[in-house]
Amino acid sequence: MRKIGIVELEAAIAIARRRSFRAASADLGISPTALSQMIAGFEAGLGVRLFNRTTRSVSPTSAGDQFLAAVEPAVDAINHALDTVKSHRDEPAGTLRINSSVGAARRILSPIILEFVRNYPRMQVDFVTEDRPIDIVAEGFDAGIRPGDLVPGDMIAVHLEPMQRFAVVGSPAYFASKPVPETPRDLAQHTCIRARMPSGKMYRWEFEQDGRAFALDVPGQLTLDDAGLMLEAVLAGSGLAYLAEWWVRDSIRDGGLVRVLDSFTPSSAGLCLYYPSRRYQPAGLRALISFIGEIRRKSQPIA
């Protein structure tokens, strides 16, 4: 039997993780056809089928599961050795895959990611945004960025900000015909811009009063699932919105929005970079973690 290369092993591992030739080919940077031919040749050389294929799905065979479970730690160890050698160069190089929600991406793109690639010109960052929670290991990402309370318990988290506050806001035009709410219960008499979460459920606005937390299902004509669209709608006078403070800070300062119910809005866990609890980290991820540490030591909060 001909010798097996690490490229073929990494390809098989990527397919097993993604359950899709097309998704795995995108991760690997090759065409689906080339990947399919590579795996077909790999299986022919082994004399064993590693994957069951249909027009709609791909899944490892029993033999494939056993084989990949045995070789994946070895491939990880080889890549770790390669990263260790590369780390002795003057600067890290390679591709870092990061998954993030759209809002978190907008929050940290300029102060962290753009500065990181400027400081490390040999690094490439593949930044993928989606609001649904995912398994970053199964999807082939090196790290993720989410609020701290959404980080899985088996991950290592690096805090990007201590806490984040929320704000209920409306435009001056909206308040020209509506009274300012004095308590959260007054929202029943207002038009609110409702939010749909990635799960499909409606978000209930969260408040605190006299040390007690509670949530309200607010009334409204408009339901959106993107904070950027909510900001656009509230600036246009379409109703009140409940948004993370950083989304609306500039508009409040410039007079485009009025903040209300400030004493009732809570704080929650700030954004974190998180990654698998492995014995080693890719060189690019180590460099990013170190870069974040430098920003924090210089006391430069996320803008």
The per-residue pLDDT for range 20-43, each reduced to its tens digit, is: 888 888 878 888 888 888 888 888
User: Which pLDDT band, with edges at 50, 70 and 90, does 302 fall under?
Assistant: low
Q: Examine the pLDDT at 192 and tell me if it is beyond 90.
A: yes
- Same fold yes or no, 6-86 and 94-160+270-297: no
Going by C-alpha positions, the residue among 138, 71, 84, 144 that lies closest to residue 282 is 84
Token pair of 51 as six digits: 């994957």
Task: Quote the CA–CA distance of 234 and 169 in Å, as a whole number.
Answer: 8
Quote the percentage of the chain above a pLDDT of 70. Answer: 94
Identify the top-confidence range among 58-62, 203-207, 293-297: 203-207
Q: Examine the pLDDT at 236 and tell me if it is beyond 90.
A: yes
Give buried/exposed letters for 114-151 (b at 16+ CB in 10 A, else e).
eebeeebeebebeeeeeeeeeebbebbbbbbbbbbeeb
Q: Examine the pLDDT at 5 and tell me if it is beyond 90.
A: no
Tell which wins on pLDDT, 298 or 92. 92
In a 3-state reduction of DSSP, which class is residue 214? strand
Q: Which helix (H) or strand (E) holds 251?
A: helix 245-253
pTM: 0.64
Going by C-alpha positions, the residue among 193, 198, 288 that lies closest to residue 232 is 193
Residue spans of alpha helices (H) in 99-226:
102-108, 115-119, 172-175
Answer for the pair 228, 181: CB distance below 8 angstroms, yes or no. no
State the virtual CA torsion across 102, 105, 106, 109 in degrees, nearest 10. Answer: -160
Q: Which helix (H) or strand (E) holds 86?
A: helix 62-86
pLDDT in the model for residue 131: 80
Q: What is the topology classification, in CATH, of domain 163-269?
A: D-Maltodextrin-Binding Protein; domain 2 (3.40.190)
pLDDT in the model for residue 64: 86
pLDDT in the model for residue 219: 96
Q: Which residues contact 22 (CB under 8 A, 6 or more apart)?
A: 32
pLDDT in the model for residue 184: 96
pLDDT, the chain, mean: 87
| Mean pLDDT across 127-132 | 87
Going by C-alpha positions, the residue among 242, 184, 187, 245 that lies closest to residue 214 is 184
The per-residue pLDDT for range 67-125, each reduced to its tens digit, is: 888 888 888 778 777 766 665 555 788 899 999 988 888 888 888 999 999 999 999 99
The per-residue pLDDT for range 153-191, each reduced to its tens digit, is: 889 999 888 788 899 999 999 999 999 999 999 999 999
Backbone angles phi, psi at 101, to 5 degrees: -70, 160
Q: Examine the pLDDT at 130 and tell me if it is beyond 70.
A: yes
Token pair of 82 as six digits: 């390669």
Tell which wins on pLDDT, 280 or 95. 95
CATH code, 6-86 = 1.10.10.10
Q: What is the topology classification, in CATH, of domain 94-160+270-297?
A: D-Maltodextrin-Binding Protein; domain 2 (3.40.190)
Amino acid at 52: N
- Tell me the angle at which helices 32-46 and 21-28 cross, rounded to the nearest 10 degrees: 100
Task: Quote the CA–CA distance of 58 and 65 in Å, as a whole number.
Answer: 12
Q: Examine the pLDDT at 279 and tell me if it is beyond 70.
A: no
Where do the domains of the chain lie?
6-86, 94-160+270-297, 163-269
